[in-house]
Amino acid sequence: MTVVGRTAVATLPDFRLESGYVFDEITIAYETFGTLNADRSNAVLVEHALTGDAHVTSGVAEPATAEHPGSFAPGWWEDLVGPGRHIDTNEFFVVCTNALGGCNGTTGPTSTHPDGLPYGSRFPSVTIRDMVNAELALADELGIDTWHAVVGGSMGGARALEFAAQAPARVGRLTVLAAPAYSDADHIAWAHTQIRAIELDPDFCGGDYQALGRFPEAGLGIARQIAHLTYRCDAELNSRFSNALQHPKPVHVDDTYYSIQSYLDHQARKLVNRFDAQSYRILTQALRDHDVRRGRSTDLAEALAGITAEVQVLSITSDRLYTPRHVATLAEALPGSPTPVSIESWAGHDGFLTEAAQIGPHVTGFLTAV
């Protein structure tokens, strides 16, 4: 089977969630890069973060100079995944899916309900485990019994960890980057404020804004601003912006307007222009409820004891969302207690995306070790 730079959608019938809700069918959008070898042993599943999608890489060596550059837009982990890169698509068959509940091709709140209207408020809550079960069903469709590796950062790391716990025999190697074993009070609090910002927007309409031709732009924008402050490090923000005023300031702003405000407003606009508010709410709830211990054991080591994959765990030194302490707690409880790798960065949590030059060699060495 040879699949190179393929974008596809799989349809999975009768899909049951942990809650008991059953979809007549779901769609899973995914992209693949590279070639699946004869014994199907070189497949790597890459898991995206909260607002990511299946487009992990362009799939070409130089997207900016490609013959049709519009067809080869850089992916969200372009510096890590691709031909000749750290996760080398000349060697590995890389698969990246869009998470269940998302808004980029996989069934989510903007999808059409059997009655012809958007799901909207009727879209059920999903869990990280539901997302993994959808990917297990997709692996069956692709004929992949065992992944050479499952790799993910942030929410993608939570998914990767749950994948190895849910189906240990199907994961050979596991890389968890900047992700915890479970959400603690601080994580839950940050999620709560983001969700409430969306829900309190008058244009949210209980989640049915799409059917009414409305959109909670302000609420989603504020949610993104709250989240972004957890993604970056205070030292970095102070270095970049200090208490400098923004010039020129927007015409609609009468009050003092700081550069950091302009930056946050810019981040809000970027997300509002590409992401659905109800999907953001659904995925944030799923990550808020992430707890690999659930239904297994209250003791973390016992809950993780069934994982048979070789495991690599990485943290970002300045991460104030999923701190090195959270990552160390996970590593200590994993079978064999692998020593976590600490990536030096002042980019904060977003270092899992921006520090490919540091992260890459660790991942390459782990995936290719004999």
User: How many Cβ atoms from other residues are within 10 Å of residue 310's Cβ?
Assistant: 17
Is 154 catalytic? The answer is: yes
Query: What separation, in Å, do the N-terminal and C-terminal C-alpha atoms of the chain show?
Result: 25
Total length of the chain: 370
Answer yes or no: 349 catalytic: yes
Please, are residues 369 and 342 in contact by the beta-carbon 8 Å criterion? Answer: no
Q: How far is CA 251 from CA 223, 246, 255, in A?
A: 24, 12, 10
Neighbours of 311 (CB within 10 A): 23
**Bridge partners for 25 per DSSP:** 13
Helix (H, G, I), strand (E, B) or coil at 368: helix
Beta-strand relationship, 310-316 and 173-177: parallel
Known binding residue 224? Answer is yes
* 85 known ligand binder: no
Selection from 363, 355, 360, 261 nearest residue 312 by Cα = 363
Q: Among residues 187, 319, 326, 345, which one is catalytic?
A: 319
Query: Which residue of the set 58, 111, 154, 318 is catalytic?
Result: 154
Positive or negative, the Cα torsion across 328, 322, 181, 169? Answer: negative
| Phi and psi, residue 275, nearest 5° | -135, 150
Contact 201, 207 (CB under 8 A): no
Task: Burial-class residue 203 by CB neighbours within 10 Å (0-12, 13-18, 19+).
Answer: middle
- Binding site per annotation, positions for substrate: 224, 350
The catalytic residues are 154, 319, 349
- Binding site per annotation, positions: 224, 350
